Chains A and B, each alone.
Chain A
Amino acid sequence: MKRIAGQTALPPRAADAARRRLLQLGAGAPLALGASGAATPARASIRTNARIVIAGSGLGGIAVANRLSRMLDGARITIVDRKEEHNYQPGYTLVATGVWPVDKVRDRNAEFQPAGVTWVRDMVAAFDPAANAVVTAGGQRIDYDFLVVATGLHLDYAQIPGMDVAAIGSNGLASVYPGPQAAQATWAAMQSFAQKGGNAIMTLPATPLKCAGAPLKMTFMLRDRLRQAGTLDKSKVRFQSALGAVFGVKVVNDNVLARWKDLGVGVEFSRRLAAIDIGARRATFVSPEGEKEELPYDFIHVVPPMRAPDAVKNSELSWKEGPFAAGGWLEVDKATLQHRRFPNVFGIGDINGTPRGKTAATVKKSAPIVAANLVSVIAGGKPEVSFDGYTSCPLLTREGSAMLIEFDYDGKLTPSLPMIEPLQDSFFAWLLKVRMLKPAYLAVLKGRV
C-alpha cells in the first residue's frame, strides 16, 4: 500500500469540516473489507449518515453508486448528471463499422441507478472542494462529506477549426466518438466511401484518449470493408498520428505497424489535424515545427483532442502541474484513486489524471477499489486497496477477428488468463467483443464484478 502524498494537506477550513463530519459518522463501525476487497463483494455494510455526491452517471458513477449503496447503510447518495440515456460506448466502434445496430448501445440511466439515491438531473457547473460543495448549472448548491468525480472527459472538437460534429456522415466525414448517432453516421460515410474507394485519412491527436485502440480499430475495419467491397486497389488509407507512435504500449504499437505495413496502410507521425474544410474535403495537418500541409480526402476519420470537462478543469480539483495539468485531469493518486489534496474526494473512470487507462475495462477493475477505499475513509481509516492501472482493448483486426490486449500502468501486457496470447489474431477475442463484453459491462454497472 502506498502512502498518499499530501493526504493531510487539506485547506484548513475543509480539513476541519471534513474531520468534524468524519467524527459524526460512526466511524468505528466494522468494515468487512480485506486488502483483497477489490475483487470481492463486500459482505457487511457499515452505518453512516455521510452525504456522498457522485458527479456523473456514466459507467464509473453508476458502478460506484451501486457498490456504495450496498456497502453503506444510511448514506445519502446523490448522483448529479443531466444525461438520461446510458450509452454502451465500447459498442460505438461496432456500430460505426456496420457490425451492430445502433439500438445495442442505447439504454436508460434510470434502469441502473440503485434504489434510494437522489438523482439531480443537472450538470455540475463548479466544484468547490474547499467548502465541500458542488454547484449545478441550474444554481443548486449541494453540500457533501465525500465526493466521487465521474464526469468522464470532454471531446474537444472545438480545437479543430472547421470541424462540425453535426456534419458527421456527410462529405466523407466520420468520427466514432461523440455518440450513437455519430457512430451510425460514420458507418453511413464508411459504406458510401467503400463502394467507390479513394483517399482515406485516419487521425490521432496527441492528448490522452478514451479507448486509445478505437482509432486503430476504425483503421483496420475500414481497410477490411474496402477489401470486402472490392475497392481496395482503388484506395489509399493513411494514418496521421500527432505522436511518434500509434499506440502507447510499445509491443502493441510495433505489432500494429507491422500489420499495417503488410496491409498497405501508410503511417505518418508527428502530424496533428489542425483544421478541416468539410465541404471541400481538405484537412490541414501541422508538424511540431509548425509546418502545414493540406491533404485532400474522400473519407476522413476525425479523433478529437480530449481533456477534462470545464467544471473539473477550472476547479481546484485538477492537476496544477505535471503531464496531466494541460488537460485539467483530476489530481488523484494513481494507486488509491483518492484525490491527492482533498482526501474526501475520489475519482473514477476517464476523468482521472493517471497514466493510460481510459477504458470501461479500467472502470471494471477500479470501481471496487474506489468503493472500498472510500468506505475505509468514511470509517475513519485510510485507503487500503491499490490499483495497478489495468486496462484492456479488444483490437478488431478485421471482421471476425481481434486481438485481446490487456495491460497495466507500466504498459506491461497482463492477460487475464495465462493462455491468452495478446498479439494473436483470434476468433475468441472477436466473440468476446461482439457478444460477451456488453454483458460484462452491465455486471460492472450493477456493481457486481
Chain B
Amino acid sequence: MYEIWLASNIVWEMALTVWPLLLAAAVAWLLLMTAAVRRPGARLRRALPAALLCAAAGAFAAFVIVPGAVGSSLGELGYWVDVANLAAIAAGCGVAVGAFAWPLAAIFRARAA
C-alpha cells in the first residue's frame, strides 16, 4: 500500500516538472479526438487496428530507446525486474503513441476515402 502511495507521488512530482507540456498534450489530444469525431466519414472504431499497430511500434521503440536516454543500455538489464520495469515504461509510451495515433488514423482514413 505504502509503495503504491510512494509510486503515485513520484509520478505526480515528475508530472509537476513538465505540466505545461502535459497540459498542451492533453489539449492537443482533445482537439484531435473532437476533430475525428466530427469529421464526416471518420470511423474511430475502424481506426483502432492502425492505432494499436502504432502503439506497439511506439512501445517497441521506447523499449529500445529508454535505457540509452537515461544513461544506461539494454545490456544492463540484469534480471527480470529490470525487464518488467522497462516493459511497463515502454507500454506507457505505447499507450501515449496509440492515443494520438487513433484520432489521426481516423482523420486520415476519412480523408483517403
Interface residues of A (CB under 8 A from B): 39, 99, 399-401, 416-417, 419-421, 424-428, 430-431, 434-436, 438-440, 442-443, 448-449
- Chain B nearest CB: distance from A428 CB in Å? 5
The smallest beta-carbon distance between A331 and chain B, in angstroms, is 29
B9 interface hit (Cβ, 8 Å): yes
Instruction: Report how far A272 CA is from B24 CA in the complex, Å.
Output: 56
Q: Are A420 and B10 touching (Cβ within 8 A)?
A: no
Instruction: Select one of A399, A417, A427, A435 contacting B3, CB under 8 A.
Output: A417
| Chain B residue nearest in CB terms to A441 | B13
Select from chain A the residue with minimum beta-carbon distance to B82: A427
Q: Of B2, B10, B78, B86, which contacts A425 at CB under 8 A?
A: B78
Q: Which residues of A contact B2 (CB under 8 A)?
A: 39, 449
Q: Are B9 and A439 in contact (CB under 8 A)?
A: yes
B82 and A426 form a contact (CB under 8 A): yes
Q: Which residues of B contact A424 (CB under 8 A)?
A: 78-79, 81
Q: Which residues of B (9-27) have their CB < 8 Å from a CB of A?
A: 9-14, 17
Chain B residues engaging chain A, CB cutoff 8 angstroms: 1-3, 5-6, 9-14, 17, 67, 70-73, 76-82, 85-86
Please determine whether A449 and B9 come into contact, CB atoms closer than 8 angstroms. Answer: yes
Please, how many angstroms separate the alpha-carbon atoms of A442 and B12 in the complex?
A: 10
CB atoms of B10 and A427 under 8 A apart: no
Asked whether A439 lies within 8 Å of B79 as measured between CB atoms, the reply is no
Residue in A closest to B69 when the chains form the complex, CB atoms: A435
Residues of B within 8 A of A442 (CB): 13
Residues of B close to A39: CB separation below 8 A: 1-2, 5
Do the beta carbons of B10 and A426 come within 8 Å of each other?
no
- Whether A430 touches B70, Cβ cut-off 8 Å, given contacts A416-B3, A417-B3, A439-B13, is yes
Q: How far is the CB of B67 from chain A (nearest CB, A)?
A: 6
Beta-carbon contact of A427 and B76 below 8 Å? yes
Instruction: Select from chain B the residue with minimum beta-carbon distance to A399.
Output: B71
Q: How far is the CA of A427 from the CA of B89 in the complex (A)?
A: 13
Q: Which 3 A-B pairs have the closest CB atoms?
A: A439-B13, A400-B72, A443-B9
Known: A400-B73, A427-B78, A449-B9. 4 other contacts (CB 8 A): A421-B81, A438-B13, A439-B12, A439-B14
Q: In the complex where A400-B67, A417-B3, A430-B72 touch, is A443 in contact with B79 (Cβ < 8 A)?
A: no
A428 cross-chain contacts in B, Cβ below 8 A:
81-82, 85-86
Q: Which of B76, B82, B85 has the most CB of A within 10 A?
A: B76
**Assuming the A-B contacts A399-B71, A430-B70, are A419 and B81 also in contact, with contact meaning beta carbons closer than 8 angstroms in the complex?**
yes
Question: Is the beta-carbon distance between B76 and A448 smaller than 8 angstroms?
Answer: no
Distance between Cα atoms of A332 and B77 in the complex (Å): 42
